[in-house]
Amino acid sequence: MLKLHFAPNSRAGRIVWLLEELELPYEINKMAFHPKDLKSDEHRARHPLGRVPVLDDGDVSIFESGAIVEYVLERHKNGGLKPPVDDARFPTYLQWFHYCEGMVMPPINTVVVQTILLPEDRRDATVLGQAQRLLTKALGPVNEALDGKDYLIGDFSGADIMLGHACFMSNRLGCVPDEMTHLKAYVERISARPAFQTAITMA
C-alpha cells in the first residue's frame, strides 16, 4: 500500500487530493509542521532536507510533489488524469503542470514566510508587497487560460492537482483579485470536489 508522509499546510495536500481523486488505497504518516518531526533523524532518512511530501511505494521512496504526481499517474493509473503524448492538449498539460512550481509557488512561499512563519518584528512589508504583486501577476495568464474552460486543459487533470492547489492557496492569501472571474470560479469548482475537501480537511 502507498504510504504518504504528510504535514498540514504543505504541498503534501496535493498528494492526498490526487490519491483521493484516483480512489487509491493509502495510509498517512501525519507529522507536525515543526522541526521536531520534520527535522528528525527518522524523517531526514526519507528526505535529506526534512520536507514533505514523501511517498513510499514498496521499495520505492520518492519526494517532490510534482514528481510524486507523475509517478502515481504512470505507475498506478496508466497515465490517468493525463492526456496521451500524441494528444493535442499534452503540451498545454505540461506547461500548466510546471507553471505551478516555476511561477506561482515562489511568491506564495514568500507571502507565507512574511505573513505566517516569521515573527512580526522580522517581517518586511516591502518584500511582502513585492511578492503579493508578483503572485497576482503570475496568476493573470492562468485566469485568461480558464476563459471558457472548467479546468486547465478542459478536462480535470494532474495539472489541476498541481496548479489548482496553488490557486486555492493564492486565493486564501488574498492574492486573487475579484476581476479574475475565471480564476475565482475555478477555485470554487476545485474546492467543491469531494476529494479536494478531504485533502483540505486533513490540512
Question: What is the pLDDT averaged over residues 191-202?
Answer: 95
Structural domain harbouring 107: 90-193
Q: pLDDT (tens digit, 9 = 90+) per residue, 72-118? A: 999 999 878 999 999 999 999 999 999 999 999 999 999 999 999 99
The grid cell for 37 is: 518531526
187 and 94 co-located in one domain: yes
* In the predicted structure, residue 203 carries a pLDDT above the cut 70: no
Torsion of CA 105, 110, 115, 121, to 10 degrees: 170
Of 80, 108, 129, the last residue of a domain is 80
Q: Is residue 167 situated within a structural domain? A: yes
Neighbours of 69 (CB within 10 A): 23
The grid cell for 162 is: 498541481
Q: pLDDT (tens digit, 9 = 90+) per residue, 10-21? A: 999 999 999 999
Say which CATH number the domain at 26 has.
Answer: 3.40.30.10
6 and 101 co-located in one domain: no
Sheet containing strand 54-57, edge to edge, reads 26-30, 2-6, 54-57, 60-63
Q: Is residue 85 situated within a structural domain? A: no
14 and 97 co-located in one domain: no
How distant, in Å, are the alpha carbons of 146, 185, 197, 198 from that of 181? 9, 6, 22, 25
38 and 102 co-located in one domain: no
Look at the pTM and tell me if it is higher than 0.85.
Answer: yes
Q: Is residue 54 situated within a structural domain? A: yes
Q: pLDDT (tens digit, 9 = 90+) per residue, 165-175? A: 999 999 999 99
> In the chain, how many domains are there?
2
The pLDDT of residue 79: 79
Q: Is residue 199 situated within a structural domain? A: no
95 and 71 co-located in one domain: no
More confident residue, 34 or 164: 164
Question: What is the pLDDT averaged over residues 134-163?
Answer: 98
Say which CATH number the domain at 126 has.
Answer: 1.20.1050.10
CA neighbours closer than 13 Å in the CB half-sphere of residue 77: 22
